[in-house]
């Protein structure tokens, strides 16, 4: 073989060996860089969607919710009558975990019983002083422990019927209670109504008989009209820095 051809093959061999050595040296760094490279936009989007699987906090708007009692009484000279007492001093939150369970320690609805008012000051004063004894027990408390039937995650439109299950404390006595609820959902807001029926005697209270009240039924209907806001998720907060 002529000498120039030999030299040419020798040069090609040296170049090939050099390229191979560079590839071997750089390969580990390339793999490391690939592992640490930022995820593609699609991956980021999937991660953001995944962050929505987190607890949802619903908070009652102070002054925009109302608690009521409906009691059936018989009055002298008037016969049967429905006494209705109400207050808008209602506050509270409900925290729904990602799996639909309720964080009971953070799901409490508080009603200021000292602010209850009906169409009769005489009735109000007597009930507060002698029946509810608000000087000693100024608040009623409902701790929510489960919400069967509530869609999770919360929808941003439409309506739903469900139950609010938990422990109701009135007059210093705690009893289990189940409220029948219905709600309308909008973006960042929930409005709804919940009702339940209790016996006054179950909570250590005697149905009042005073003045023109001949009798009053032991069974009392309780109602809540609520307006609440839904706190934004972590993903939504991160996506809107302002």
* CATH code of the domain containing 110: 2.40.128.110
- Is residue 25 domain-shared with residue 108, that is, in the same domain? no
Rounded to whole angstroms, the Cα distance separating 163 from 22 reads 69
Residue 96 counted as domain residue? yes
Output the pLDDT for position 237: 56
Output the pLDDT for position 26: 38
Residue 145 counted as domain residue? yes
- Is residue 58 domain-shared with residue 23, that is, in the same domain? no
Q: pTM value? A: 0.75
Number of domains in the chain: 2
Residue 46 counted as domain residue? no
Rounded to whole angstroms, the Cα distance separating 66 from 61 reads 10
- Of 37-51, 90-104, 180-194, 196-210, give the lowest mean pLDDT range: 37-51
> Which residues, other chains included, contact 202 with Cβ-Cβ below 8 Å and sequence gap of 6+?
173, 175
- Give mean pLDDT, residues 224-233: 92
State how far the alpha carbon of 198 is from the alpha carbons of 31, 84, 88, 174, 220, in Å. 68, 15, 20, 12, 5
Rounded to whole angstroms, the Cα distance separating 223 from 67 reads 6
- Is residue 101 domain-shared with residue 13, that is, in the same domain? no
Omega within 30 of 0 (cis) for the link into 153: yes
Instruction: For residue 45, name the pLDDT band (cuts at 50, 70, 90).
Output: very low
- Of 72-81, 107-116, 168-177, give the lowest mean pLDDT range: 72-81
- Give mean pLDDT, residues 28-46: 42
Q: Is residue 38 classed exposed, middle or buried when 0-12, 13-18 and 19+ CB atoms within 10 A define those classes?
A: exposed
Instruction: For residue 52, name the pLDDT band (cuts at 50, 70, 90).
Output: very low
How crowded is residue 199: how many other Cβ atoms within 10 Å of its Cβ? 13
pLDDT value at 42 more than 60: no
Residue 131 has what DSSP assignment? I
- Is residue 174 domain-shared with residue 101, that is, in the same domain? yes
- Is residue 32 domain-shared with residue 129, that is, in the same domain? no
- Of 40-44, 46-50, 102-106, 231-235, give the lowest mean pLDDT range: 46-50
Q: What is the domain range of residue 21?
A: 3-37
- Is residue 98 domain-shared with residue 127, that is, in the same domain? yes
């Amino acid at each position: 073989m002529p000498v120039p051809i030999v030299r040419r093959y020798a040069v090609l061999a040296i170049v090939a060996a050099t390229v191979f050595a560079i590839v071997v040296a750089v390969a580990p760094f390339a793999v490391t860089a690939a592992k640490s490279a930022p995820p593609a936009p699609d991956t980021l989007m999937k991660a953001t969607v995944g962050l929505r699987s987190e607890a949802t906090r619903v908070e009652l708007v102070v002054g925009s919710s109302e608690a009521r009692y409906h009691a059936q009484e018989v009055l002298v000279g008037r016969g049967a009558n429905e006494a209705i007492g109400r207050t808008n001093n209602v506050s509270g939150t409900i925290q729904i975990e990602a799996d639909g369970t309720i964080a009971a320690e953070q799901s409490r609805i508080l009603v200021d019983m000292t602010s209850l008012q009906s169409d009769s000051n005489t009735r109000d004063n007597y009930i507060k002083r002698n029946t509810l004894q608000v000087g000693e027990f100024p608040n009623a408390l409902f701790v929510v422990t489960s919400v069967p039937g509530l869609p999770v995650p919360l929808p941003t439109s439409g309506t739903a019927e469900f139950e609010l299950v938990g422990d109701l404390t009135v007059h210093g006595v705690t009893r289990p209670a189940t409220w029948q609820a219905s709600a309308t959902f909008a973006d960042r807001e929930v409005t709804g109504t919940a009702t339940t029926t209790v016996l006054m005697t179950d909570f250590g209270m005697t149905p009042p008989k005073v003045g023109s009240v001949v009798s009053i039924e032991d069974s009392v209907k309780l109602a809540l009209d609520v307006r609440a806001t839904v706190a934004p998720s972590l993903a939504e907060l991160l996506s809107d820095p302002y």
